[in-house]
Amino acid sequence: MKLQSAKREEPEINLTSLIDVILLLLVFFMITTSFVREAQISIKLPESDSAAEVKAEQQQLEISVTAQGSYLVNGRALIDSRPETLRAAILKVMADVPEGRATISADANATHQAVVTAMDMAGKLGFTEINIATVRSVAPAR
């Protein structure tokens, strides 16, 4: 009696279900992804040829930012330029100032961060009307 050994079949991996899952994930991510085109965002900063004069009817908070990034609150220089010091100085003069009105004047060479810090601190302390002081630009001689 001769016993024949059965031929062993090579195991195979069925990739059909794996491909289906990957395609479904691809379609899901394509549908749910939003594309932000940052190259299309353009910012045009305002320019002032004439500065409107503001009449000071009441005393208001005035924050000045120097080119070095230090602050002056109502003309008084602060000991350092930390936000906590600026906050303390604003709180100190808040009793003399009507609520909600502040003016920020910054040197042309002041950093953007220093100006934003002053605006942020004034906003956190309840000032809702924050004005940015400008000066009239000088026309070039022809």
The per-residue pLDDT for range 90-142, each reduced to its tens digit, is 888 887 776 678 888 888 888 889 989 999 998 888 888 888 886 666 655 55
Q: Which helix (H) or strand (E) holds 104?
A: strand 101-106
Question: Most confidently modeled of 35-39, 53-57, 89-93, 94-98?
Answer: 89-93
Residue 135 vs residue 20, higher pLDDT:
20
Round to whole Å and give the CA distance between 136 and 77: 25
Are 73 and 62 spatial neighbours (Cβ–Cβ below 8 Å)?
A: yes
Alpha helices in the chain (DSSP H): 16-32, 83-93, 112-124
